[in-house]
Amino acid sequence: MTERAGAFEDIYFTCRDGLRLHGRHYPAPASGRRPVVCLPGLTRNARDFAVIAERLADPRRHRRAVYALDYRGRGLSEHDPDWRNYAPLIECLDVLDFMTMMGLHDAAILGTSRGGIIAMMMAVLRPGAIGAAILNDIGPVIERNGLTRIVGYVGRMPLPATWEEAAAQARDTNRKQFPAVSEAEWLEIARAWFNDENGLPSPAYDPALAKSFTIAQIDGELPAMWDQFRALIRVPVLAIRGENSDLLSPETLARMGEIHPRLEAMTVPKQGHAPLLRDEPTIGRIVDFLTRTDGVTASP
């Protein structure tokens, strides 16, 4: 079932365990270009990709179909009664089910943070689903400082009473990593990071998500995902890092380039984890990467 909403269609689908999940489809009829599937970060949702998705699907410009998903318990998707299902593997299976339902294969996967982890898992579980990948501020090694910072706010931030308070909270929480974002843009970002309920901000993710993501779970050695990353060697990859990122280190990014022969890397200045994908240079680089790799087939 779809409902028209401006430049995109709201898509609702039922996953294998009966939850009703949400996504956005930015159509580009008869485009012939590789479609893009956008996967957000841990607490984020499909609205994070609104700016770049509209650009990619614009019939006057790039004209490429884009799909952006809300994981279970995020955005407009139903909450899972079992918080243990807020796990990358379950979310990966939801994404693969969605792609099967929509007839998507050989797609470009644009994964921000958690979404990039899921993209690496997809490359192992169903290689044919991916024709190209864009990893936004994520790699096989996750820096503990960044992970600890994220754990510190998931499910612990007070709910703003107004959109102005929501913008101030987004700004104050992220000022150090994103010093160049304007006041007006913080309000736009807040409207992506919170749901709208009767004209006021409301939570955009299930608070129970915090139970699946605690300091106790990241004590000891953090597992690296080099094997999963190597599964992406068969396709072109663009790796994006925020200059101020505390989750993806320059050393990990360099090592990714040594392992992957077709990896392209870019650093977004004055942005941290994760780059917002709203500025012209970053959007332009993504458009260029997708255009150049449209006809590239995966290596055996």
Residue with tokens 């160049």: 180
Contact (Cβ atoms closer than 8 angstroms) between residue 195 and residue 76 = yes
For the stretch 207-232, pLDDT in tens is 999 988 754 455 556 789 999 999 99
Among residues 15, 64, 62, 5, the alpha carbon closest in space to that of 38 is found at: 64
- pTM of the entire structure? 0.95
Give me the average pLDDT of each 10-residue run along the chain (300 residues). Answer: 62 95 95 96 97 94 95 98 96 97 96 98 97 98 90 87 97 95 95 97 95 62 89 98 98 98 97 97 98 86
Q: How much is the pLDDT for 148?
A: 85
